[in-house]
Structure 1
């Protein structure tokens, strides 16, 4: 029997072969907070009947169902592949590095058609019984990665879902030994694509990738559920860099509005040979929107520079993930 609080909760995920069709969880991820919920649209009959003061309970109907919510987690050295694939869109097979136990996943930005997840969460009653809430057809709407001084690398994934199924059997959770990426492993680099140099003075970095989609594809003949969302706008990549004002390199880019490549990488322990646990975001072109440094008192000047990720005409944004995961 599980603990009758959030301590007994679980979250399992699998890639779906067909949008909205259940696949038993293959991976279990550790999370810090989630808000996945069923959303229903109801209609109430309001027919006039002599002397009736209240609408009839039997005349209320559910016309649409869907789901949505977010999941917050630490980014770890294992089990991140399915989420990254659902975010970035490319079908990825981990590539073994020579004959070692290190496997590289290269998630290149692409359309997310056909990339949906089954997410099964277990929610404990106070008795210790864990209830099943299985969300089908989960599409990643956005993801934000953030890390600051003294903290872990964290991610917040936002999902749109086709339905919530409470009739599935709750899978038994199992977790590999995992370690989080953290600030002590962080390097932030800018410059010409492929030869970026590490920047000094960085205190916090965040990158958000948004995948706009038509999530309102409710049609007749679908029993009140939706068709798979379709991309309906260009991808939006934004972020911010908080730093001590140690030099004018990034400030000058803000002034000139020139583009620079940005690499945000976390290098962990060696897996084998020269291959290390790695989480790396590569944005071939960003431009800074604001703000120039301001002096707000006696303290060290700490500008925050907000940026927009753009296409350089050749290279797509990429997330690289090196781990011992043989499969996503």
Structure 2
């Protein structure tokens, strides 16, 4: 074993804070999971002692938190999407043997689903895996980024009830056949009429602006509460976090200025639908392709009107908010066509 033989696995809990064995293991880029204790030092005066006493240092509150960043692949990320948005279903696609469509949307209920995340670390020079098990994990926010000449990335941020080092290490087992998704697999439409995805069909429609879109990102912060701490729980949160009343969805496009479609949509504060689709050429089932699709039915632009660029082609930085158009359906959809049989 080497210092690089580290692992991250995730499993969905049935009881908040009761750890489970990971059922999915992730090929990840970075993680920052850490214990977050709060200590208080007794201030009582004592003859002959000018320093705080070691036996008067007490733990008053504890939790854990951190981020996890992964590259976007066509298999094995279901639990991250489910944890981030809050709700997900997996359905067999008719006529496509062995193909499933997973559809993720923001949760309707206010109580978040919790997960256990276990990481395994190695001493320098190799060793048996050293487990750190983070229990009662709730995804607080996430961001998907796709940029010119790069691999698509998914970053999720987490809040945990506690961390444990006594739970046995679960050896990783990775999804086979996962394909990496990059900028070259992507297509984007902004505007037009979009037919929303269903449990078995991807979204269709939309209008592709003439502008060349160089990068895209969108984030969702569920605004979980910071309550639930009380007597009898050892300084830990005593209940699952709940989602805030108003979630915050945002995004950004960078485009080359070649028409006034986005400028005018910004000036007029027009409602726009945005669809971003990453699809590989591999055939699964009879005619399906592994796909990750993001659909934002209603965005409003906050960006900028074009500015000169010293004679060089003009780029526009176009920020947007994800809003609720008060029509049937969701404010965000992530649809995944995959051979994964379950989330």
TM-score by length of 1: 0.95
**Displacement after TM superposition at 1:155 (Å):** 0.8
Distance between the aligned counterparts of 2:117 and 2:305, measured in 1?
Answer: 42
Distance between the aligned counterparts of 1:183 and 1:228, measured in 2?
Answer: 37
Instruction: Write the deviation string for residues 68-112 of structure 1: whole angstroms up to 9, x where unpaired.
Output: 110111011111111111111224234344341211001122246
- 1:283 maps onto 2:296 in alignment: yes
Q: The residue matched to 1:272 in structure 2 has which SS?
A: coil
Equivalent residue, structure 2, for 1:115: 113
Distance between the aligned counterparts of 1:276 and 1:323, measured in 2?
Answer: 8
Equivalent residue, structure 2, for 1:147: 146
**1:124 pairs with one of 112, 122, 128:** 122
Unaligned runs of 5+ in 1: none
> In the alignment, is the contact (CA less than 8 A) between 1:213 and 1:233 conserved in 2?
no
- 1:189 maps onto 2:202 in alignment: no
> In the alignment, is the contact (CA less than 8 A) between 2:31 and 2:66 conserved in 1?
yes
Instruction: Write the deviation string for residues 157-198 of structure 1: whole angstroms up to 9, x where unpaired.
Output: 011111111111111112123221111111111222323123
Equivalent residue, structure 2, for 1:295: 308
Distance between the aligned counterparts of 2:72 and 2:86, measured in 1?
Answer: 19
Equivalent residue, structure 2, for 1:93: 90
The 1:98–1:272 alpha-carbon spacing in structure 2 relative to 1, beyond 3 Å, is same
> In the alignment, is the contact (CA less than 8 A) between 2:95 and 2:286 conserved in 1?
no
Distance between the aligned counterparts of 2:89 and 2:69, measured in 1?
Answer: 23
Equivalent residue, structure 2, for 1:35: 32
Distance between the aligned counterparts of 1:96 and 1:225, measured in 2?
Answer: 43
**Displacement after TM superposition at 1:275 (Å):** 1.4
- 1:209 maps onto 2:220 in alignment: yes
Equivalent residue, structure 1, for 2:102: 105
Larger mean Cα displacement after TM superposition, 188-197 or 206-215: 188-197
> In the alignment, is the contact (CA less than 8 A) between 1:160 and 1:215 conserved in 2?
no
Q: The residue matched to 1:38 in structure 2 has which SS?
A: strand
Equivalent residue, structure 1, for 2:132: 133
Number of residue pairs the alignment of both structures matches:
325
Q: The residue matched to 2:9 in structure 1 has which SS?
A: strand
Distance between the aligned counterparts of 2:264 and 2:257, measured in 1?
Answer: 12
Distance between the aligned counterparts of 1:150 and 1:74, measured in 2?
Answer: 14
Distance between the aligned counterparts of 2:299 and 2:125, measured in 1?
Answer: 51
Q: The residue matched to 2:245 in structure 1 has which SS?
A: coil
- 1:83 maps onto 2:80 in alignment: yes
- 1:260 maps onto 2:260 in alignment: no
- 1:198 maps onto 2:208 in alignment: yes
Q: The residue matched to 1:213 in structure 2 has which SS?
A: coil
Equivalent residue, structure 1, for 2:245: 233
Distance between the aligned counterparts of 2:117 and 2:95, measured in 1?
Answer: 33
Distance between the aligned counterparts of 2:91 and 2:58, measured in 1?
Answer: 47
Unaligned runs of 5+ in 2: 196-204
Equivalent residue, structure 2, for 1:180: 180
Alignment of 1:162-173 (within 5 A): 162-173=161-172
Equivalent residue, structure 2, for 1:219: 230
Runs of 4+ in structure 1 off by over 6 angstroms are: none
**Displacement after TM superposition at 1:244 (Å):** 1.0
- 1:71 maps onto 2:68 in alignment: yes
> In the alignment, is the contact (CA less than 8 A) between 2:112 and 2:242 conserved in 1?
no
TM-score by length of 2: 0.91
**Displacement after TM superposition at 1:293 (Å):** 1.2
Equivalent residue, structure 1, for 2:199: none
